[in-house]
Amino acid sequence: MSGAEKTGVSEVAAAPGNQVACWKCGKPAGAGHFCHECGTIQPLPRGTDYFAMLSLPRKLWIEMERLETRFHQLSWKLHPDNFVRASAEEREMSLERSSQLNDAYRVLRDPVARVEYLLGLAGMRKEGTTKQQAPPELLEEVFELNERLDELRSARAAHEEGAEMAALRKMLEEAAHGFEERLADVDAQLMAAAREWDATVDSGDAAGGRAALARMNEILNRRSYIRNLVRGVTQELAE
């Protein structure tokens, strides 16, 4: 590997003035994936996130063409085939970086995954810390849905068939469809909150940014609850 060929892609963003020494030549490596002096692949700066890995601002609206271009450029430059004659350290870094790059692309190309990832960076999506609860506006509908599910399970256990069973299944299918429509509304709310976040990034409004993060977190919790509800009904109907 001769080094970081110039392809027009900006490398990993890092703090201004970053003068970390290259692990191979000892000269200032710069802030990219490769040393500016000798072209050797470098460890990522500590704390580098998926946005920085692809030289993108930490915002939730991403131009897909820009993301695709940067991903493919870096994929080519970091591909293990380019390191077959390199040292063991470089080959290992190439494999690890290619995997990280694929993970970053998979997350950032999906609008909902982007929001969840951003909230994770803010420490707001730690697994096991949030107990799922029915949104207050859905409590009555969820209660009725659970009653119908209990009826379905009881009827199935008793090997009941016929018109009543068919009517029960139809009610559950209609309920699941209704909740799926609510998911579309929730996604629209999430995208609106994402635009609010981007506006606070542009304006430097820290308080507004915290409020936008909290709103997105609440919306994601509601989305996750409704999605799991639909999945549970679908699984029950499939049995």
- CATH code for position 73: 1.10.287.110
Provide the whole-model pTM.
Answer: 0.82
Percent of the chain with pLDDT over 90: 64
Residue 183 lies in domain: 136-238
What residues contact 155, with CB distance under 8 A and at least 6 apart?
164, 165, 168
- Kindly state whether residues 140 and 71 are assigned to the same domain: no
pLDDT level of residue 126 (50, 70, 90 thresholds)? low
**What DSSP string describes 71-112?**
HHHHHHHH-GGGGTTS-HHHHHHHHHHHHHHHHHHHHHTSHH
Task: Work out the average pLDDT over 31-50.
Answer: 90
Task: Give tens-digit pLDDT for 136-148.
Answer: 888 888 888 889 8
Task: Give tens-digit pLDDT for 141-178.
Answer: 888 888 988 888 888 887 878 888 888 889 899 999 99
Number of independent structural domains in the chain: 2
- Kindly state whether residues 97 and 4 are assigned to the same domain: yes
- Kindly state whether residues 184 and 94 are assigned to the same domain: no
Residue 220 included in any domain: yes
pLDDT at 32 over 80: yes
